[in-house]
Amino acid sequence: MIKFLRSPWLLLLLWPLLLRAEPAFYQVEKGAQTLWLLGSVHAGHASLYPLPKAIDEAWQQSRQLVVEVNLNQITPGDLAEMARLTRLPDGQQLADVLPAALYAKTQTAAARLGVPIAQLAPLQPWYAALALSQAAIGQSGFDPALGVDSHFLAQATDAKRPIKGLEGFTEQLGYLASVSAHQNAMLESTLDELDDFKQSFTEVLNAWQAGDETHLSELLKEEMGPQELQEWLEQKLLAERNARWLTQLPGLESGSFIVVGSLHLYGPKGLLAGLAERGYRIERLSPPATTPG
């Protein structure tokens, strides 16, 4: 889906940052409302935890968790809609809708990752790309259950703390499914990433842990695939959803702890810029990343 930078020495450059910095974490205030905002990575490993003291202290004070989607509230109707959005029409198979060369490439990647091609056969190409990405995450030693959003969902569930989703499960799936015009490009771009997925995702995790927002954004945005796919990603998955979320944030209960994908925070159409435009005072509670001398 997103093609990452591949410089093998980036891990060495990032190591000093890990010693001096923490994940970017914000307190935003306006009037009597205080919110905390943390960018997430959606998979991780045990070394991410425990999280830094500033994050844990804010979490202990918080009154509710706010995430992109409350996965604890998926209904049978949501699952039925998921099947409709993610599967090809009856009678069609992935081999029927993909160019022969792209299907062969998909078969090769699936075999390497241990994913039966029959499992992918009824799926829309965009969802086959996500399935292969999930398999690559597991094979590389990362775990979606140890992603930052999953971590706080589990914490909130255990503590019986209220959980609010900024969008519904099928609403989020609808955004993803809207890639349909570019889904072959999305699948091809995903397949191109898989060979060095572990190194690429490790770089992303290290930049997140270091609180290096600039480098993290570069890693996540660099070479997003063909221009039309890049434009779709930036407009549909980021800008449009951010705009909808920003209408909800002023109505949140003070003390809400917000965890969303890291890319949603940054840039001129990011949540931080949008909150600043709406008169919020923004304070970074974690020390910023510094470049080694």
- Consecutive 10-residue runs of the chain (293 residues): their mean pLDDT? 32 33 88 96 88 95 97 93 94 96 97 96 95 91 91 96 96 91 90 85 83 75 66 88 97 97 91 97 82 40
Is the Cβ–Cβ distance between 47 and 148 less than 8 Å? Answer: no
* Strands 64-67 vs 163-165: parallel, antiparallel or unpaired: parallel
The reported pLDDT for the residue numbered 222 is 59
SS3 content of the chain, % helix, strand, coil (to 5): 60, 10, 30
Q: For residues 109 and 58, what is the distance between their CA atoms, to the nearest angstrom?
A: 42
Q: Which residues contact 76 (CB under 8 A, 6 or more apart)?
A: none
Q: 50: exposed, middle or buried (C-beta count within 10 Å: 0-12, 13-18, 19+)?
A: exposed
Q: Which residues contact 62 (CB under 8 A, 6 or more apart)?
A: 36, 161, 255, 256, 257
pLDDT at 203: 84
Whole-structure pTM value:
0.87
What's the pLDDT at 221?
63
205 and 141 Cβ atoms separated by less than 8 Å: no
Residue tagged 């770089």 (tokens): 203
Tokens of 102: 């792209």
pLDDT score recorded for residue 62: 98
Q: What is the pLDDT of residue 1?
A: 34
Task: Give the pLDDT of residue 293.
Answer: 35
Joined together, the tokens standing for residue 280 give 């919020």
Q: To which H or E segment does residue 110 belong?
A: helix 100-113
Q: End-to-end alpha-carbon separation of the chain, Å? A: 35
Backbone angles phi, psi at 70, to 5 degrees: -85, 100
Residues 6+ apart with CB under 8 A from 30: 250, 278, 279, 280, 281
pLDDT for 224 equals 57
- Can you give the pLDDT at residue 286? 82
Q: Contact, 139 vs 114, CB < 8 A?
A: yes
- CB-based burial of residue 249 (10 Å sphere; 0-12 exposed, 13-18 middle, 19+ buried)? buried
d(CA 253, CA 47): 32
Give the separation between CA 158 and CA 160, rounded to whole angstroms: 5
Distances (CA, A) of 79 to 82, 153, 173, 201, 248: 5, 20, 11, 29, 25
pLDDT attached to residue 19: 36
